[in-house]
Structures are given as structure tokens and as C-alpha cells.
């Protein structure tokens, strides 16, 4: 496959970045997008050019590290996949592909396609946990949980915190991420105890970090590799109002 | 500023409540406007007189103006914050399966705001005595305005944009209130779609009928 790659190159957080065009003919339809970038980097290294920096870890679609904005979509075209699962079959020979980092004030660019997603960790630290005594794992049936609730909580817990929701949102809002993290606890008895404090602390931290406001556009849901639903955002809203009005 | 306005969730809640209040008011306004289709000016002028002088309506009017101002001011604040949240834009953007008009709410809102100002200049400010006009004969004033093709075009275009605004606004307000469920959300979206078509269409029919048939 012959491709024209227009990739965002930025030396470091303070440098001014720009798009650099690479005419690359080393791609195969059998490659994943990251393997294609690996092949490009091999070529760049041989030519003594600084390789394109990008985040990646598991390459199995579960760590959420490999976030990049490809041809106008977070994680590229294709539904419910991360960049590492994006196949080069999605592209045609001769295609021009734009590869950009996530764009958000709260996710500053570190280098090239790598952004600093510490903001998500800060939101989690603010309230995305339950307080419990440590020790051996409790018996799995000690605390009965309704099956439907357990399933719903699990659907929220599959959020990998990749930041695609922020990248997709026209407002760079983190509401889908935060709502999933709140819902996964709010639905379970263990999480109810600190529910009020959790939702207020996490929303406060999200605001402090400079994310935008949710305008219920739904781009986050449409582009989320784990198909986290907007229902979570409605739950966050309900949890927040209840926390504010109840004593 | 956020100390006064509250969190992003609170700001959106204020927007949603003000918006739903305005949505309800539109129905009342449309009901009165339909009186314009009657050849006799008395019913419409009586309704306008009642709306101008009744004590309960006057109290309601304060809430209505507050609703407009809050919806506009909060909308601008939220939008500015949203722009600031993404200082660098993407080079290439693509379409994703989303609520289409939600991307243009601020621009639709600006157009509606401009129309609202024209509307206030024509009627509300006349009623307040700030602009010259016969506030005892709004029927005649409306009929005069709806003989001007340019005014009708502006009117119809404004209501087209209001329809786009309402299409997203209706269901978005319920989502902001925390109401989203597989069982009733499709019903809310359906009502929103019908409302966003029927109400602006109702307003739009009136100048067409007056211009062509009266």
C-alpha cells in the first residue's frame, strides 16, 4: 500500500508543532495501524530521523494507551476499536491519512502524538474508589448484588480511560469518562456509601482541570472504543443533584 | 466565576430548566398567535391586552424575561468555556453519529437572539412605551408587518433555525435533568422531534396565511 501520511510532529511540550508529510509505501493491509507506524519508524530510524512518538502498551484493546486522532476520528475509522485494533484494511492504496494527537487543554501534548492524560488520574484520585479494610478477598456471595445492576456496573467499568471521549467531544468534555467511573460504583452497594462525596469531588476536579461542558452531542458515545453509553452521563447528573439536595 | 455559577453540571441544569420554561412559553405564544387567523381583531387584541395588564401574567413576565436572560447568558458562558477547553483545533474532522444540530446551538441561538431583538422592537418595547406604536392594536401592527415580504422571509428563516435549535434542545434538556432510559428516551426524542416541527410550523403558517389569503 502506498500512503501519504500527514503526521503531527512536535519536539516537546513547549515546541511549536507542525504536520510533516511522509510518502510511505511499506504498509500492508494485514498490518494494524500501530504496526504500520512501527514500519514507518523503522524507516525513519534507518534514515537517522527522529521516529514518531506515540503511546502504546497492550496492543490488545484493553489498556487505552494508543490514542490518536486518525482522519477525523479518535482511534480512527471503525466502530468500537482502539487504534491498535485498527486494521490497515480500513484504508485504500493511495489514501492520505491525517494523524493528530488528542486536542484538549487538559491533555497537553508531550511529544508528537503523545499527550499527558494525568488529568484522568487526578479525577480518579479525587473520588474514583471505595474505602474498605484491606485483607483477604471477601466471599463473592457475601454481598448480594442484583444481576441487572451488576451487568450495568460492568458495562460502565469497561471504560479504559483512553480519552477518546474528550478527543471526540467538540467541547473537550470528560463527562463520559467521569460518568462511567461514577456509575460503576454508584450501581453497587459497596460504592453507595461514598456516592455523594464521590460525585461532587470528581465533578469538581474535572472542572478544575479545564475540561469543557457536556452539550449532549453524543460524539463521545459514538466514538468510544468500549461503547460507554450516554445513560451514564444522565446517571452522573442524577447522582450530582441528589448529592446536592440530600442532607 | 464558577464559585458563583457552580459546577458544569449545575450550569447545564440552569440552562435546561430555563430552556424548558421557554419551550412551554412558546406553546402559549402560539396559541395566542392563532387568534391572528380570525378576521375579527378583537380576540387577538383582547388576548394581547390581557397579557399586558393581568397581574398574574405580569409576574409570569418577570420569570420569562429572566428565563431568556439566563438561557442566553449561561449559554454564552458555557460556550466560551468550551472554546477555551480546546485551544488547538483538529486539522481534519469527520462526521460521527451524533445529534447534528447540537454542534451549532450557539450559532442557532445567535440567529434566534437577533430575531428576538427585532420582535421586541416591533412589539414588546412598544408595549413598554420604549418604541412608538399603537399598543392597543397589535392585530393591525402584525397584519401590517406581514404584508412586507422581507419581514416574512426573516420570520420564516428565524423559525426554521428555531426548529433546528429545538430539535436538539428538547431531548438534551431531559438528558441534563438526568432522565435517560431505554424505555422512555425514545418517547422523549419522538415528542421533541414532533414539537420542533409542529410549533415552528404553526408560527410559520400565520404570516403565509395573512400575506396570501387576507
**B17 lies within 8 A of chain A by CB:** no
- CATH top-level class of A117-130+145-245: mainly alpha
Cell of B16: 435546561
A207 contacts on B by Cβ (under 8 Å): 2, 7-8
Give the pLDDT confidence score for residue A20 in this predicted structure.
98
Question: What residues does each domain of chain A span?
Answer: 3-110, 117-130+145-245
Higher pLDDT, B95 or A202: A202
Q: Do B176 and A211 touch (CB under 8 A)?
A: no
Residue A232 has what pLDDT? 97
Cα-flanking dihedrals φ and ψ of residue A213, to 5°? Answer: -95, 150
Q: Which residue in B85, B39, B116, B133 sits closest to A211, CA to CA?
A: B85
Q: How many residues in chain A?
A: 247
Res B168: pLDDT = 95
A73-74 vs A114-115, strand pairing mode: unpaired
B2-213 is classed CATH 1.20.1300: yes
Q: What pLDDT is attached to residue B213?
A: 87
Q: Is the pLDDT of residue B2 over 70?
A: no
Q: Does domain A3-110 have CATH number 3.40.5.10?
A: no
What are the average pLDDT values for consecutive 10-residue runs of chain A, which has 247 residues? 97 96 94 97 97 96 94 94 96 97 98 98 97 84 91 97 97 98 96 96 97 96 96 97 89
3-state secondary structure (DSSP) of residue A9: strand
* pLDDT at residue A247, as a whole number: 72
pLDDT (tens digit, 9 = 90+) per residue, B136-183? Answer: 889 999 999 999 999 999 999 999 999 999 999 999 999 999 999 999
Question: Cβ contacts (< 8 Å) between B98 and chain A: which residues?
Answer: 217-219, 222
Arithmetic mean of pLDDT, B95-109: 88
Q: Does B20 touch chain A (CB under 8 A)?
A: no
Name the residue ranges covered by the structural domains of chain B. Answer: 2-213
> Given this model, what pLDDT does residue B41 score?
94
Each residue of B13-66: pLDDT tens digit?
999 999 999 999 999 999 999 999 999 999 999 999 888 888 999 999 999 999
Whole-angstrom Cα distance, residue B93 to residue A71? Answer: 7
Task: State the DSSP code for A238.
Answer: H
Helix axes B8-33, A231-245, angle to 10 degrees: 100
What would you report as the CA-atom Rg of chain B, rounded to the nearest whole angstrom?
A: 19
Amino acid at each position: 500500500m502506498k500512503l501519504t501520511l500527514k503526521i503531527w510532529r512536535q519536539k516537546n511540550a513547549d515546541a511549536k508543532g507542525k504536520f510533516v508529510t511522509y510518502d510511505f509505501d511499506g504498509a500492508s493491509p494485514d498490518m494494524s495501524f500501530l504496526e504500520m507506524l512501527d514500519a514507518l519508524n523503522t524507516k525513519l530510524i534507518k534514515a537517522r530521523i527522529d521516529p514518531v512518538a506515540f503511546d502504546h502498551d497492550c496492543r490488545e484493546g484493553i489498556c487505552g494507551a494508543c490514542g490518536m486522532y486518525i482522519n477525523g476520528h479518535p482511534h480512527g475509522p471503525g466502530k468500537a476499536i482502539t487504534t491498535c485494533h485498527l486494521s490497515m484494511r480500513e484504508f485504500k492504496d493511495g489514501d492520505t491519512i491525517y494523524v493528530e494527537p488528542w486536542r484538549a487543554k487538559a491533555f497537553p501534548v508531550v511529544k508528537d502524538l503523545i499527550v499527558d492524560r494525568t488529568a484522568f488520574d487526578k479525577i480518579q484520585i479525587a473520588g474514583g474508589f471505595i474505602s474498605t479494610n484491606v485483607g483477604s478477598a471477601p466471599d463473592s456471595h457475601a454481598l448480594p448484588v442484583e444481576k441487572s445492576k451488576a451487568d450495568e456496573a460492568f458495562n460502565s467499568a469497561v471504560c479504559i480511560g483512553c480519552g477518546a471521549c474528550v478527543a471526540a467531544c467538540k467541547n473537550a468534555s470528560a463527562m463520559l469518562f467521569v460518568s462511567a467511573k461514577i456509575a460503576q460504583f454508584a450501581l453497587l452497594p459497596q460504592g453507595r456509601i461514598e456516592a455523594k462525596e464521590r460525585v461532587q469531588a470528581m465533578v469538581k476536579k474535572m472542572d478544575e482541570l479545564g475540561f469543557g461542558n457536556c452539550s449532549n452531542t453524543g460524539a463521545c458515545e459514538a466514538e468510544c472504543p468500549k461503547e460507554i453509553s450516554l445513560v451514564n452521563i444522565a446517571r452522573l447528573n442524577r447522582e450530582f443533584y441528589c448529592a446536592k439536595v440530600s442532607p | 466565576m464558577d464559585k458563583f455559577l457552580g459546577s458544569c453540571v449545575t450550569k447545564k441544569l440552569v440552562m435546561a430548566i430555563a430552556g424548558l420554561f421557554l419551550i412551554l412559553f412558546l406553546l402559549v405564544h402560539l396559541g395566542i398567535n392563532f387568534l391572528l387567523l380570525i378576521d375579527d381583531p378583537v380576540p387577538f387584541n383582547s388576548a394581547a391586552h390581557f397579557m399586558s395588564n393581568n397581574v398574574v401574567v405580569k409576574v409570569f413576565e418577570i420569570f420569562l424575561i429572566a428565563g431568556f436572560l439566563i438561557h442566553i447568558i449561561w449559554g454564552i458562558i458555557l460556550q466560551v468555556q468550551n472554546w477555551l477547553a480546546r485551544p488547538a483545533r483538529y486539522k481534519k474532522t469527520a462526521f460521527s453519529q451524533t445529534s447534528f444540530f447540537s454542534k451549532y446551538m450557539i450559532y442557532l441561538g445567535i440567529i434566534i437572539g437577533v430575531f428576538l431583538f427585532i420582535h421586541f422592537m416591533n412589539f414588546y418595547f412598544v408595549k413598554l412605551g420604549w418604541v412608538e406604536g399603537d399598543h392597543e392594536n397589535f392585530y393591525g401592527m402584525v397584519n401590517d408587518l406581514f404584508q412586507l415580504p422581507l419581514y416574512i422571509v426573516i420570520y420564516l428563516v428565524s423559525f426554521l433555525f428555531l426548529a433546528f435549535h429545538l430539535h436538539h434542545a428538547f431531548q438534551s434538556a431531559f438528558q441534563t435533568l438526568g432522565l435517560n432510559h431505554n424505555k422512555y428516551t425514545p418517547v422523549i426524542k419522538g415528542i421533541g422531534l414532533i414539537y420542533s416541527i409542529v410549533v415552528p410550523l404553526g408560527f410559520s403558517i400565520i404570516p403565509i396565511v395573512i400575506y396570501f389569503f387576507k
